[in-house]
């Protein structure tokens, strides 16, 4: 299969073997790597297929084209935007891109010299972060976290972002203050995700597994309700109570007296359901789940209906308009049907890269997958690798943004960074200089610092001050 997917004639003609259809019918029989290759070879058109896949250069030469597959040019559209107005700029870019999806987006920032792949990757990272703001009013949230940024030197701005440890999931439309704004935001987000997938850019947005299931057309259950709203764990317990009630009512062997006694024994935390003082409304008591629901008390008798109505409110009817808008935006770039060969975790890795790799970077992984300048002192090499391994997950995210423009590694980790991570010696500088990077070529220029402590200090300083001015190219 791998050979077929990398065959130039097969890709250009689209003449894949008949048995390839089994990938879509029985995706679980094929490795994630093969399914990703198949997806990229068949979903984005020939130029992107040749650019994305490891096509044998000799085949291209035989066809009269001396270019390597990765060098095939794609039509581009360049945008110059204000760093302090990312979300509005991103919406305008996606509106333009939706009218000509095949154009490869390239982003630059006003007043900054950075050009090329680095600023563009960072654009997708920043745009996907902005859509998680509290004032976007899109997501269920456990809490909100305040972040103070200094996008414009000397001007500090406080913004609040959604905290959802379970992952992002849409807030029911009835709980949103501006329905039109929210629906438009989801349409924009669908475009952003679709365009990122089409152009092979990673996003920084922690969708929940339940979100991916909805996107893939899978039915959600009470389990997902508790997953996206942990404070509704009691609903799961009450669902078990309702199940026991149904079993008792269906048991023909019980006399009426035995049945009534068994029903009375059904308690939630040693109390009858009525003691919960629940009504047919959402937990905030703002939206009735049925007509006059604010006056209808939840009892053991109507408990089943309450659970069904509440689940429908959060997992189906309440998010239908938002998800339809998301799908509409997404399909302007990529057919949604093509994603069904992936599971939710696989889809997350495809869109956002890997997160677990942030926890367990090793010396051997970095050494084996990094090209070090032969003129670089071996002590500095060792110091740098040890510093990277010692970073916290948040510091590793910052380093990846500094190096690549994205906060996550691609599937496979460092070994699948393209081009290969390279460290060069920065000559004729002293300990006062900071490291610099060329994000297009994943190259970091490193002064030969006199100590590991100084190397760590200077690298962190460069990483955490990058947002003030995109000096990387």
User: Residue 457 — φ and ψ, nearest 5°?
Assistant: -60, -45
434 and 425 in contact (C-beta within 8 Å)? no
Query: DSSP per residue over 223-237, as a string?
Result: HHHHHH-GGGHHHHH
CATH code for the structural domain at 356-468: 3.30.2410.10
53 and 36 in contact (C-beta within 8 Å)? no
User: Residue 371 — φ and ψ, nearest 5°?
Assistant: -100, 115
- The helix/strand/coil state of 281 is strand
CA 165 to chain centre: 14
Task: List the end-to-end C-alpha distance of the chain, in Å, as a whole number.
Answer: 38
Ramachandran sector of residue 218 (left: φ over 0; alpha: ψ -120 to 50; beta: rest):
beta
- Cβ of 87: how many Cβ atoms within 10 Å? 17
Q: What span, in angstroms and rounded, lies between the C-alpha atoms of 194 and 128? A: 12
Helix %, strand %, coil % of the chain (to 5): 55, 10, 35
Catalytic-labelled residue, pool 12, 176, 352, 440: 440
Residue 130 DSSP one-character state: H
Q: Which whole-number Å values give the CA distances from 458 to 75, 91, 429, in the listed order?
A: 39, 36, 13
Residues of the chain below pLDDT 50:
54-70, 150-157, 468-473
- Residues 147-196: tens digit of each pLDDT: 655 444 444 445 688 888 889 999 999 999 899 999 999 999 999 999 99
What local confidence, expressed as pLDDT, does residue 151 receive? 45
What local confidence, expressed as pLDDT, does residue 160 receive? 85
Give me the CATH topology for the region 112-218+319-352: Hect, E3 ligase catalytic domain fold (3.90.1750)
Residue 440 annotated in active site: yes
Q: What span, in angstroms and rounded, lies between the C-alpha atoms of 280 and 258? A: 30
Residue 265 DSSP one-character state: T
Cis status of the peptide bond prior to 419, with omega within 30 of 0: yes
What sign has the CA pseudo-torsion 307, 309, 314, 317? positive
Q: Which two tokens stand for residue 28?
A: 């679980």
What local confidence, expressed as pLDDT, does residue 53 receive? 61
CA neighbours closer than 13 Å in the CB half-sphere of residue 390:
13
Of 221, 162, 224, 216, the residue nearest 326 (C-alpha):
216
Q: Where would I find the H helices in 292-370?
A: 303-315, 320-330, 344-352, 363-368
406 and 204 in contact (C-beta within 8 Å)? yes
Of 238, 259, 235, 264, the residue nearest 247 (C-alpha):
259
Locate the domains of the chain by residue range.
2-71, 112-218+319-352, 227-315, 356-468
What local confidence, expressed as pLDDT, does residue 356 receive? 60
Q: What angle do CA 250, 251, 257 make, to 5 degrees?
A: 110
Burial readout 367-400 (b: 16 or more C-beta within 10 A, e: otherwise): eeebebbeebeeebbebbbebbeebeeebbbbbb
Q: Which two tokens stand for residue 117?
A: 């792949």
- Residues 109-129: tens digit of each pLDDT: 988 877 778 889 989 999 999
Q: Which two tokens stand for residue 257?
A: 């007296």
- Cβ of 113: how many Cβ atoms within 10 Å? 12
Of 77, 86, 108, the residue nearest 199 (C-alpha):
77
Residue 220 DSSP one-character state: P
Share of the chain above pLDDT 70, in %: 88
- Residues 449-458: tens digit of each pLDDT: 999 999 999 9
């Amino acid at each position: 299969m791998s050979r077929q997917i990398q065959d130039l004639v097969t890709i250009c003609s689209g003449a894949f073997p008949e048995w390839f259809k089994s990938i879509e019918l029985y995706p679980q029989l094929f490795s994630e790597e093969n399914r990703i290759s198949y997806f990229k070879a068949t979903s984005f058109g020939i130029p992107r297929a040749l650019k994305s896949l490891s096509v044998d250069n000799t085949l291209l030469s035989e066809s009269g084209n001396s270019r390597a597959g990765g060098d095939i040019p794609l039509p581009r559209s360049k945008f110059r935007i204000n760093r302090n107005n990312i979300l509005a700029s991103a919406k305008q870019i996606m509106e333009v891109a939706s009218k000509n999806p095949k154009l490869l987006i390239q982003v630059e920032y006003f007043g900054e010299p950075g050009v090329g792949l680095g600023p563009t990757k960072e654009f997708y990272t920043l745009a996907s972060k902005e859509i998680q703001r509290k004032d976007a009013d899109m997501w269920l949230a456990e809490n909100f976290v305040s972040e103070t940024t200094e996008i414009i030197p000397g001007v500090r701005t406080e913004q609040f972002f959604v905290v959802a440890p379970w992952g992002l999931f849409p807030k029911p439309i009835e709980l949103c203050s501006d329905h039109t704004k929210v629906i438009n935001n989801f349409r924009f987000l669908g475009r952003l995700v679709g365009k990122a997938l089409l152009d092979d850019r990673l996003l920084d947005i922690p969708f929940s597994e339940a979100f991916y299931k909805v996107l893939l057309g899978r039915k959600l259950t009470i389990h997902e309700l508790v997953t996206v709203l942990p404070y509704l764990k009691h609903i799961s317990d009450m669902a078990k109570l309702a199940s026991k009630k149904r079993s008792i009512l269906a048991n023909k062997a019980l006399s009426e007296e035995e049945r009534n006694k068994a029903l009375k024994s059904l308690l939630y935390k040693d109390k009858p359901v009525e003691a919960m003082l629940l009504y047919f409304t959402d937990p905030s008591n703002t939206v009735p789940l049925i007509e006059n629901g604010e006056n209808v008390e939840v009892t053991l008798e109507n408990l089943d209906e309450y659970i069904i109505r509440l689940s429908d409110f959060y997992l189906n009817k309440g998010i239908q308009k938002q998800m339809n808008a998301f799908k509409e935006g997404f399909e302007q770039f990529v057919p949604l049907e093509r994603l069904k060969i992936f599971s939710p975790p696989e889809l997350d890795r495809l869109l956002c890269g890997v997160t677990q790799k942030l926890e367990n970077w090793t010396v051997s992984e970095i050494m084996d997958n990094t090209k070090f300048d032969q003129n670089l002192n071996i002590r500095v090499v060792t110091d740098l690798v040890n510093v990277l391994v010692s970073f916290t997950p948040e510091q590793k995210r910052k380093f990846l943004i500094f190096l690549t423009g994205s906060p996550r590694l691609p599937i496979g980790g460092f070994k699948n960074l393209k081009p290969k991570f390279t460290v060069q010696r920065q000559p004729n500088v002293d300990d006062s200089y900071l490291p610099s990077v060329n994000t297009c070529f994943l190259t970091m220029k490193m002064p030969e610092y006199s100590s590991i402590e100084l190397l760590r200090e200077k690298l962190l300083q460069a990483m955490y001050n990058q947002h003030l001015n995109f000096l990387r190219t």
